[in-house]
Every structure is written in structure tokens, then in C-alpha cells.
Structure 1
Amino acid sequence: MPAATETVTYDQLFSLTGRARKARVTNNIGNSQPTLDILHAGGRVEIEDGGGSIEERLMYAEQDTEWMSDRQRVSTDDKEMITKAVYPWRFIVAPINISKTDELKAQMSETAAMDFAESKIIGARQGIRTGTGTAIGGSQSGKSMLGFQDVIKDTPTSGTLGGINQATNTWFRNKYYGTAVTFTTQTVTNIFNGWDQIGTQYESASDMNEEVTHIVAGETLYQKMLSTLEGQGYTRFMGGGQVKMGAVTGGGQNVGQGPMFRGALIYKDRSMPASTIYGYSLSAIKLKIMKGANFAKTNFVATDASGIIGKVAFYIVGIQLVTINPRRTFVLSAVS
């Protein structure tokens, strides 16, 4: 534990005045969770009433049509058009553990007791946010939820997603480019290879009414993306030089501020893989939260029976990241 140490002489002045402090605790460990915040701000977080799993009904075909003339016999053939993707619930928990001795020591004043308990609660909630944000940028492992590496795959031509075989169902694949790209290289004069390939995948994944809305990269690639703009004299400073959080409204309009590429907001998320750039339309992704397990706190129970005098409670979230239209997403998986 990185506990601070201090040598103090309790003279008359210090004994009577003590230390100056504000009623705050500053977070020095957690990073922001931009993708999580974007999904929330864009209305892509949905509360579900439990259930054994999550299902999304999908249309994968349209009824056949034909042109006809007078008195022509036409087809009456029916066609299968609807299926469903099924995703399992995942649960993330964080304990709030207060020993009896700590509780007694915190009785110094009502405020001290409240600050001590509140710090435990804030730490648990922040831990769940961090764990969820990290999972969004990662890949499913063990009991964790799906991440971008699962729903926007480097190789979506094999395996299953939501129970659907992507090897045979090409309509349920994201766009992808796995060939090595050096972002700052210019094969064509004044056109950076990185932006050129992002543009290609952007158009491949976009449709007139379902454009890619967000492009995200990790810290290193994001810096290279901005440096190409700076090198060309296109630096954009907003809000005192800071890129602000953005999302889109229900009408598909971007909100917030940040560098833009063909209408898509570019942002940095430290949880994303080092050599990867993702693009997605918010209409293609949802974050499901289980009703009753939406940062729900259990009651404190005594731990005396285990031989430890104290009490413990848990924060719990039932959650899953799902995709409902992978073709409106893309990934560049070998960028340097």
C-alpha cells in the first residue's frame, strides 16, 4: 500500500491547527472510459428485464420481386427472412468490505464515518466502470463480456457471433483490413496511407442513412492521426485545446467536439489494442444492462461467521456488448 509518511513535531501551533484539507478524493488510478460514455450519451445503453440470455431479431433477406405484364402468372414463393442472434449475460461485481476496527476508528465524527464508507462505494463503482471499459476494448475471456475484438473481428470469415455462423452468413460480418499499414507513409503525394485506408473502409461500412459515426484508436495511433493533421497545418483546437467527448443523437447527429473525418468523430480510448483502429456506426452496437443489476448494491452482511469481524456488500452489473448490424463497422488490425 503506497501510504504516505511524514515526520511531524507537534508543537503548540500544529497541535492546535492540524492540517488543511478539502472534502474530496482525487482519482489517480482510473482512466476515462470514452467508449462507454459514448454508448451511454448516444442512447445505445438498453435496460432489459432479465431473461436467460439476450436475443436480437435480425432481418437477413428481403422478399423476391419481379416486374409483370397484364395477365402474367407471378411467383407466390415464400422466403425465410428473419433469424435471431443470441448473447449470454455476463456479470461484473466489486466488493465493499469494511472491517469492524476500521468502522470503529471512523467514528471520530459523523462526517469521517460517512467519508470512509463513501470512499469504499466510490472505489467499487469506479472499479466496475474501469473493468467494463477495459472489456469493451478487449476480447471475451473466461466469464467476461464481449468486446470490440469480438463484435468487430480482425477475421470475421470464421467462427460464430451471437450464435450465427459467420463463415456461411456473409451478411453478418464486419468490414476488415488486415494488411500492414504505416499510418504516416505517403504512397501517393500528400495522402497519408493511414487516412487513405480509413477512407476506404469508412465507405465500405457506410450507407447513406447509416454512416460510420465514430473512429477510435489507442493512445499511440491516435497521436499519429493527429500528427498528420498538424504536419499539414490542419490542427484543430477546441475548448482550450482539448478534444471533448462526443456521441450522436437519436437523429444521427454528432454531439460534442473533436477531430472529424467525413462526419465521424475521432477519439482516443486507452483500452483499444495498440495496432488497431475501429470505425462504427452507433446504430450497429448496443450495451445491454440487466434490470435490477444496474450498479445494484446488495445489503451489507456480517462476515463474523468466516472468522473476520466486519461487513461486506457488493456492487453488481449484468451486462453484455452486442452487435445488431456488423456490416456498419470496420477494423484496421495491422496499423503502425
Structure 2
Amino acid sequence: MASPNLSEIVTTTLRNRSGKLADNVTKNNALLNRLNKRGNVKPVDGGRTIVQELEYAENSTYKRYSGYETLNIQPSDVFTAAEFDWKQAAVAVSISGLEQLQNSGKEKVIDLLESRIKNAERTMQNNLSADCYSDGTADGGKQIGGLQLLVADSPSTGTVGGINRATWSFFRNVSYDATTDGGAAATSANIQSYMNRVWLQLVRGTDRPDLIIADNNYFRLYWESLQAIQRITSDDMAQAGFSSLKFMDADVVFDGGYGGAAPSNHMYFLNTNYIYLRPHKDRNMVPLDPDRFSVNQDAMVKLTAWAGNMTLSNAFLQGVLKD
């Protein structure tokens, strides 16, 4: 007979694995892995939107003076905030009454559920990881706003976090087109020169990119440009399971491969001090209550859900090299 405690088995199994799933999503993606290490995976308590504070100007009262000269004591408006909408995602684990009967006995039911839960976890990992590269337009705008939105190919247009980039230049990232700005499509012979040009625009004192994410082609071009000399790799990223090289003091990470979601012919220069993953503290890969039982089917469904978004607090220190 079917297990009378099936609902409890499913719920307990999902709850025991939800924390591991949330952690594995960050390990499944080079960007999220770096954000996690920096402490930039910051849960949110709630609110109508996710508010990300940011500095948009310097203090305007700086003045050189002599003796009794009057100083500038006018208040300076230097802070504002970007607001990002909540995005939600869920994956379902279901079992029918017939499957319960066919898998009679507690152990057999758990074996079936374990396989489906692992598949659901991989699905959630892969899709959230892919969304981190998105422009946020999939499914009618219900998708996370990823790198193609935050570090856009055309940064002088569009709205990010409620801030119109056409109006506010401080919230625009650097974008360098190999063909248009450099004069030729990227190759192994010129890619380092193009990377130099992007890098130099993104350094502010000690602030500089710490992570460069490339798709298959751009990583290959950079890799081949180094093969005549000794390659320098990052032990830290290698230990995290990502193929990586170094450029200046930043890790250059191959985040493509089979099914890779990084857009083709793109290389993102990221200062991850200013990029965040903001999940809701009560909806970070957790099973939803109560149990879902179909009103007209012999079946039970449990949903594992996530809510949050990616946010940005500084755009002009982020860049993209593209063709």
C-alpha cells in the first residue's frame, strides 16, 4: 500500500535539502560563487521592491581656501537608491497515487522521490544560473535581471533599478565593441589589446575588476593568446571547480561549455564589490506550504520556490567587451 506519511516524507526531504540547494546554486555559477565569497549574497526581509542604496556623486563642498575665507557648508545630495522588482521561480516535485502504489514501501517511495528531487534541484540550479546572464525579459519580464541588463551592451539606454540610463550617466556601464570601437572582430592576436582598453576605463584607485567572465569563444581567444607564454591560473577559482586564467589581478573564468548561458562573443569585466544576489530570507529555495493536492487528480505536488533578484550599486566600474 502507499505510504500514509508520504506528505511528511516529501516535506522533510525537501526541507533537509533546501539549504544545500541554495548553497549549490552559488557553486554552480562563477559569478554567484564570487558573490557568495564576498558576502554579497544578501537576503532581504521584504518590502514592495528590493532597494539597493548607491552613491551617485561626490560631496560638492570640497574647496581650497586660505585664512578666513568662507567655506562651503551647503548640504550635498550624494546618495540615492535603485529599486529592483521581485522575481520568482519554482520547480515542482510530484507523485501520483499509482506511482505510490507501484513503489509500495517507505524505502521505494523515498528512492523515487530522491531521483525526482535531485532532478528538480539540477533544474533550479541550471535555470537560475542561466538567468544570471539574462536581460530580464523572458516570460513577460518575470525573469531575473542578469548581466545583460546590469552590464548592458548599450548602456546609454533603458532603465535599470528604476534609473533611466539615458538621463543619468552615472548608472551606465562601460561597453566596448571590438569591431566598432577596435576596428576588427576579436582574435587571439588582438584580444589582449581590447581587454587592456576596457580594463583601463574601470580602475578607480584600488577599485578594479576582480572577475572577468567569458563565453566559449572569447575565453578560447584569450587562452590561445597566452599559449606562447607561461599561463598563469587562479588556484582559488580552480579549487571552486571553474576553469580560469588571470588578467592583471582578476580571474578570467570560462563560464560557458555545454549548455552555457553566457552570451556568445562576450566578456564581462566585473567589480563584484557592487553586484549582489538578493533572495528573500523566507523564499530562498524552500518548499512551499501547505501541500498541494489536486482536486480532480490522484496526485500530490510539492513546490520548491525562490524569490529575489540581482542588484547593482555601481555601474560605471563594470564593463563588457563584445563583438
Whether TM-score is above 0.5 comes out as yes
2:202 to 202, 205, 211: 205
Equivalent AA in structure 1 for residue 252 of structure 2: I
Q: Label 1:89 to 1:83 Cα distance change in 2 as closer, same or farther (>3 A).
A: same
In the TM superposition, what is the alpha-carbon distance from 1:300 to its structure 2 partner?
Answer: 6.3
When you count helix as a share of all residues, which structure comes out higher?
A: 2
Question: 1-side partners of 2:162 and 2:116: how far apart?
Answer: 39
Which one is further off, 134-143 or 65-74? Answer: 65-74
2:32 to 33, 36, 57: 36
Say whether residues 1:258 and 2:244 are aligned partners.
yes
Instruction: Kindly indicate whether the alpha-carbon contact (under 8 Å) linking 2:178 and 2:185 is maintained by their aligned counterparts in 1.
Output: no
CA RMSD of aligned residues (A): 2.5
What is the match of residue 121 of structure 1?
117
Deviations 1:289-313 (A, max 9, x none): 10110101024635341x2201001
Greater radius of gyration (CA): 1
Instruction: Kindly indicate whether the alpha-carbon contact (under 8 Å) linking 1:125 and 1:295 is maintained by their aligned counterparts in 2.
Output: no
2:274 to 271, 275, 284: 284
Deviations 1:256-287 (A, max 9, x none): 88311101001112211101111101102000
In the TM superposition, what is the alpha-carbon distance from 1:200 to its structure 2 partner?
Answer: 1.4
Instruction: Kindly indicate whether the alpha-carbon contact (under 8 Å) linking 1:136 and 1:321 is maintained by their aligned counterparts in 2.
Output: yes
In the TM superposition, what is the alpha-carbon distance from 1:110 to its structure 2 partner?
Answer: 3.4
1:244 to 232, 238, 249: 238
1:271 to 245, 261, 285: 261
Aligned-residue identity in percent? 21
Alignment size in residue pairs: 286
Instruction: Kindly indicate whether the alpha-carbon contact (under 8 Å) linking 1:218 and 1:276 is maintained by their aligned counterparts in 2.
Output: yes
In the TM superposition, what is the alpha-carbon distance from 1:319 to its structure 2 partner?
Answer: 1.8
2:291 to 282, 295, 301: 301
Say whether residues 1:65 and 2:59 are aligned partners.
no
In the TM superposition, what is the alpha-carbon distance from 1:224 to its structure 2 partner?
Answer: 2.1
Question: 2-side partners of 1:297 and 1:75: how far apart?
Answer: 56
Equivalent AA in structure 2 for residue 278 of structure 1: Y
Report the TM-score, using the length of structure 1 for normalisation.
0.78
What is the match of residue 82 of structure 1?
79
Question: 2-side partners of 1:104 and 1:237: how far apart?
Answer: 54
In the TM superposition, what is the alpha-carbon distance from 1:128 to its structure 2 partner?
Answer: 1.4
Question: 1-side partners of 2:174 and 2:119: how far apart?
Answer: 38
Question: 2-side partners of 1:266 and 1:237: how far apart?
Answer: 9
What is the match of residue 139 of structure 1?
135
Instruction: Kindly indicate whether the alpha-carbon contact (under 8 Å) linking 2:187 and 2:221 is maintained by their aligned counterparts in 1.
Output: yes
3-state SS of the aligned residue for 2:244? Answer: coil
What is the match of residue 315 of structure 2?
326
2:187 to 160, 184, 188: 184
In the TM superposition, what is the alpha-carbon distance from 1:220 to its structure 2 partner?
Answer: 2.3
Question: 1-side partners of 2:237 and 2:196: how far apart?
Answer: 21
Report the TM-score, using the length of structure 2 for normalisation.
0.81
Instruction: Kindly indicate whether the alpha-carbon contact (under 8 Å) linking 2:178 and 2:194 is maintained by their aligned counterparts in 1.
Output: no
Equivalent AA in structure 2 for residue 315 of structure 1: T
Q: Which ranges of structure 1 fall in alignment gaps of 5 or more residues?
A: 1-29, 186-191, 248-255
What is the match of residue 7 of structure 1?
none
Question: 2-side partners of 1:310 and 1:93: how far apart?
Answer: 18
